[in-house]
């Protein structure tokens, strides 16, 4: 079927390219609207913290909050008091504002008065503006922007002052920054990949094909994300995460397709016949690779958290678009450029068909010292992954997620530094008991060494709310556990950022093993159907785990411990964003298996043709090594281009995946795989008799009788 698909697209190249061109225009029109539809994904409904926040949102009389800091003016300045009164009057009269909270006159006028909105050095004050409820996201952002402009106007009345505005505006700034980072990374990656492919193909025509496939994949991927925004909440970070994956895979798949097409032309096939053969060989490899990567991303759908579900669902959609571009657009463009794409020739010391090149010598080296190579490489990978053992998980904060140049990040920093009572986010207790009962219960928490303050009880409809502020952020999780163990009368929910972090950790512990099982089983099944072996898929899982450990170790070493912070331009957040290891697991696992499919497909093809197992490994690495190296180089360029952005989450993902790809394409594929397959010998192709018969039947259906260990 894939052979016929490749040939049909080659024959109907103008129609196929025209369809993709129309889809590109339509998708880019839709993609222009996607930024406005991105929204913070809510926590899972099953989390106690999410349930508590939902009840607060339903019961409270206001919507989101805009928080401003007016700095550089003494708190007891009459001009400051007058300016704040004018702001309060203007906002209440002319904006969709529910409440404006400013420091009390007593606190502003007396150094002995205590007000959480007056800085400790009394040279700054905070203003909280609560917007009206039940506004759409676009309306809320428009109102918040207008409020921001009015707050900035304070500097006109107070020369020498500075106003920093944050709060809910942080989400808007983050979304714009993600879009800017994505455009920057694409602007960096595409020209560099084009240059690399010109060198690889020794000509412009062959290099253009993967770039065109990448452009089609980007447009289709963005349109896919746009469609998903109508069904699920899509975080701004999802845009970068899925774009980088779609761009990299589209280039990889198209690179493999073009390389095989040139090889077939080099052995005398006509362009049309080469397209058919390429569809049957490289097309099959691309199909299995796409399915394996999709299976890895589908593991994210096991988690209840909407942010992980959105990344998994959108990621699978983007992979399918990249797969479609490789299997249809690439052969069509090859048809248009058929006379300009040169057959493969001797390049970089390794000619196709020449089975004694650099990669063959690497395979022979690994075979001769198989046990030593296995132990040495495995030990090296395990040592590189050791930083994983002290990984600390953190939850999104304006101080760590947003780049320092954004105003909302600066506002959050000033708040933490200058306003002690606002330094720690409170743990919020929501209860159905009446105010008196909750007030009585809350007294026991005052004066505790790990609690800085217990707020006044507040009635919100049928609920009573009280804030318990931990003395230090490091004690917040312990306070959450204590509050949940000793609850107020009636039904209650303990929420807040610390409670959300604790619930997310429990989610990872509960659902992480199930996600790993789903991914492992899907990978085993797909690799079995590709190779007919039971041991090779198991070997692939073990090696993927080693590459994954290195990626996790890099996350901790570079971002949590702060090595390279100056080079990459970030402030160490003191930990790793809690959902990032799960995403790195899915992406890294899928990409590692991707290169395993590239290599095993060639080895299997040679083995089925009658070549002995050890020789098939050697020749298979020789014939696929350049493609895997080129694909890994291009993927690394794509990932590192995302590290050039300002959002630390995209930096973390880009660096972790780039390191995983480099390690996998070099140490694992070029050394560990040949060594391991040498040790296994003919057992590489073993499978139980029932499974062997099943694979034989399927192979005959595809017209390719499989050779198995007898």
Q: What is the pLDDT of residue 658?
A: 93
One-character DSSP codes across 335-402: HHTTTTSPPP--BTTB-TT--SSHHHHHHHHHHHTHHHHHHHHHHHHHHHTGGGGG--EE---TTTTS
The CA–CA distances, whole Å, from 710 to 533, 686, 689, 704 equal 12, 8, 9, 18
The domain made up of 426-495 has a fold known as Alpha-Beta Plaits (3.30.70)
pLDDT at 400 over 80: no
Class of domain 2-39+177-395+514-701: mainly alpha
Tokens of 174: 């983050």
Task: Give the phi and the psi of residue 303 in degrees, each rounded to 5.
Answer: -75, 145
DSSP-based three-state secondary structure for 16: helix
The CA–CA distances, whole Å, from 634 to 152, 184, 518, 596 equal 45, 17, 29, 17
One-character DSSP codes across 480-508: HHHHHHSPPSSSEEEESHHHHHHHHHHHH
Q: Of 638, 583, 645, whose CA–CA distance to 182 is shortest? A: 645
pLDDT at 349 over 60: no
Q: Do residues 17 and 329 make contact, with C-beta atoms less than 8 angstroms apart?
A: yes
The two domains 2-39+177-395+514-701 and 65-167 share their CATH topology (first three levels equal) = no
Per-domain boundaries in the chain: 2-39+177-395+514-701, 65-167, 426-495
Tokens of 659: 């390191």
The CA–CA distances, whole Å, from 213 to 182, 197, 221, 268, 460 equal 18, 13, 12, 26, 55
Q: Do residues 435 and 459 make contact, with C-beta atoms less than 8 angstroms apart?
A: yes
pLDDT at 355 over 70: no
The predicted-structure confidence for 235-264, as pLDDT tens digits, reads as follows: 777 777 777 788 888 888 888 888 889 888
Class of domain 65-167: alpha beta
Q: Which residues pair with 66 in a beta bridge?
A: 129, 167
The CA–CA distances, whole Å, from 117 to 37, 38, 61 equal 34, 32, 21
- Cα separation, 33 vs 244, in Å, equals 19
Q: What is the DSSP letter of 127?
A: E
Query: How large is the angle between the packed helices 236-266 and 169-201, nearest 10 degrees?
Result: 10
- Cα separation, 300 vs 293, in Å, equals 12
Element (DSSP H or E) covering residue 197: helix 169-201
Tokens of 311: 């990344």
Average pLDDT, stretch 122-133?
A: 90
Q: What is the pLDDT of residue 41?
A: 63
Q: What is the pLDDT of residue 420?
A: 74
Percent of the chain at pLDDT exceeding 90: 33
The predicted-structure confidence for 621-635, as pLDDT tens digits, reads as follows: 988 888 888 889 988
417 pLDDT band, cuts 50/70/90, is confident
Q: What is the pLDDT of residue 506?
A: 92
The predicted-structure confidence for 135-179, as pLDDT tens digits, reads as follows: 887 888 889 999 999 999 999 989 989 999 998 888 888 888 888
Name the burial class of residue 101, with classes exposed (0-12), middle (13-18) and buried (19+) by CB atoms within 10 angstroms of its CB: middle
Q: Do residues 20 and 474 make contact, with C-beta atoms less than 8 angstroms apart?
A: no
Which residue has 């069904």 as its token pair? Answer: 231
Q: What is the pLDDT of residue 240?
A: 74
Element (DSSP H or E) covering residue 76: none
Q: Do residues 636 and 657 make contact, with C-beta atoms less than 8 angstroms apart?
A: no
Q: What is the pLDDT of residue 23?
A: 87
Average pLDDT, stretch 265-271?
A: 87
Q: Do residues 375 and 293 make contact, with C-beta atoms less than 8 angstroms apart?
A: no
- pTM to 2 decimal places: 0.84
Tokens of 359: 């990669």
Tokens of 528: 């079995």
107 pLDDT band, cuts 50/70/90, is low
SS (H, E, C) 135-153: CCHHHHHHHHHHHHHHHHC
CA 53 from chain centre, in angstroms, equals: 26
Q: Do residues 594 and 293 make contact, with C-beta atoms less than 8 angstroms apart?
A: yes
380 half-sphere exposure, CB direction, 13 A CA radius: 13
CA 45 from chain centre, in angstroms, equals: 22
The mean predicted confidence, pLDDT, of the chain is: 86
How many Cβ atoms sit within 10 Å of the Cβ of residue 340?
A: 11
How many Cβ atoms sit within 10 Å of the Cβ of residue 586?
A: 26
Task: Detail the DSSP E strand segments found in 488-573.
Answer: 492-495
Element (DSSP H or E) covering residue 129: strand 124-131
The predicted-structure confidence for 304-318, as pLDDT tens digits, reads as follows: 888 888 888 888 988
Cβ neighbours of residue 422 closer than 8 Å, sequence gap 6 or more: 116, 126, 415, 416
């Amino acid at each position: 079927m894939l052979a016929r698909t490749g040939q049909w697209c080659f024959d109907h190249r103008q129609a196929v390219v025209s369809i993709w061109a129309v889809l590109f225009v339509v998708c880019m029109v839709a993609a222009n609207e996607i930024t406005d539809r991105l929204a913070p994904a809510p926590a899972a409904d099953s989390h106690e913290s999410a349930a508590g926040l939902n009840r607060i949102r339903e019961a409270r009389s206001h919507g989101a909050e805009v928080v401003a800091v007016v700095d550089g003016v003494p708190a007891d300045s009459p001009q400051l008091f007058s300016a704040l009164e004018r702001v309060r009057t203007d906002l209440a009269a002319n904006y969709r504002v529910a409440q404006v909270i400013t420091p009390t006159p007593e606190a502003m006028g007396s150094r002995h008065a205590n007000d959480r909105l007056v800085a400790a050095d009394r040279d700054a004050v905070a203003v909280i503006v609560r917007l009206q409820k039940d506004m759409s996201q676009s309306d809320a952002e428009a109102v918040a922007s207008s409020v921001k402009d009015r707050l900035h106007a304070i500097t006109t009345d107070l020369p020498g002052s500075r106003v920093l505005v944050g709060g809910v505006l942080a989400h808007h700034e983050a979304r714009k920054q993600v879009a800017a980072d994505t455009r920057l990374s694409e602007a960096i990656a595409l020209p560099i990949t084009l240059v690399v492919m010109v060198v690889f193909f020794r000509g412009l025509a062959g290099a253009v094909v993967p770039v065109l496939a990448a452009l089609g994949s980007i447009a289709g991927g963005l349109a896919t994300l746009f469609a998903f925004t109508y069904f699920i909440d899509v975080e701004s970070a999802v845009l970068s995460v899925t774009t980088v994956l779609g761009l990299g895979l589209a280039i990889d798949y198209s690179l493999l397709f073009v390389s095989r097409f040139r090889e077939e032309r080099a052995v005398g096939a006509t362009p049309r016949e080469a397209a058919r053969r390429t569809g049957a060989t490289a097309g099959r490899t691309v199909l299995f690779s796409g399915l394996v990567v999709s299976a890895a991303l589908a593991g994210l759908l096991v988690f209840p958290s909407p942010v992980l579900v959105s990344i998994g669902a959108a990621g699978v959609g983007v992979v399918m678009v990249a797969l479609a571009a490789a299997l249809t657009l690439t052969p069509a463009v090859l048809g248009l450029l058929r006379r300009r794409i040169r057959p493969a020739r001797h390049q970089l010391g390794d000619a196709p068909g020449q089975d004694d090149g650099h990669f063959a010598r690497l395979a022979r080296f690994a075979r001769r010292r198989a046990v030593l190579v296995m132990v040495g490489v495995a030990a090296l990978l395990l040592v590189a992954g050791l930083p994983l053992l002290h990984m600390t998980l953190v939850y999104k904060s304006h101080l760590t997620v947003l780049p320092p140049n954004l105003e909302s990040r600066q506002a959050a920093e000033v708040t933490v530094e200058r306003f002690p009572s606002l330094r720690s986010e409170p743990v919020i207790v929501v209860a159905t008991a009446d105010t008196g009962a909750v007030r009585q219960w809350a007294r026991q928490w005052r004066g505790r060494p790990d609690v800085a303050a217990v707020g006044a009880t507040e009635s919100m409809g049928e609920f009573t709310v009280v804030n318990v502020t931990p003395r230090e952020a490091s004690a917040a999780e312990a306070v959450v556990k204590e509050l949940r163990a000793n609850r107020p009368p009636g039904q209650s929910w303990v929420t807040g950022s610390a409670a959300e972090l604790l619930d997310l950790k429990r989610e990872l512990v509960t659902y992480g093993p199930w996600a790993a099982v789903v991914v492992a089983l899907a990978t085993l099944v797909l690799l079995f159907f590709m190779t007919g072996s039971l041991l090779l898929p198991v070997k692939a899982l073990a090696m993927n785990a080693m590459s994954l450990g290195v990626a996790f170790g890099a996350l901790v070493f570079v971002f949590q411990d702060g090595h390279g912070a100056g080079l990459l331009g970030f402030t160490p957040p003191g930990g790793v964003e809690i959902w990032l290891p799960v995403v790195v697991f899915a992406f890294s696992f899928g990409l590692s298996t991707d290169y395993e499919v590239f290599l095993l497909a060639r080895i299997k093809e040679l083995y089925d043709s009658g070549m002995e197992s050890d020789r098939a490994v050697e020749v298979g690495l020789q014939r696929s090594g350049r493609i895997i190296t080129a694909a890994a180089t291009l993927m690394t360029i794509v990932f590192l281009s995302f590290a050039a952005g300002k959002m630390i989450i995209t930096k973390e993902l880009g660096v972790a995946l780039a390191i995983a790809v480099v390690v996998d394409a070099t140490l694992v594929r070029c050394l560990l795989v040949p060594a391991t397959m040498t040790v296994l010998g003919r057992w590489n192709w073993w499978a139980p008799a029932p499974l062997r018969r099943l694979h034989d039947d399927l192979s005959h259906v595809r017209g390719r009788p499989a050779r198995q260990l007898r």
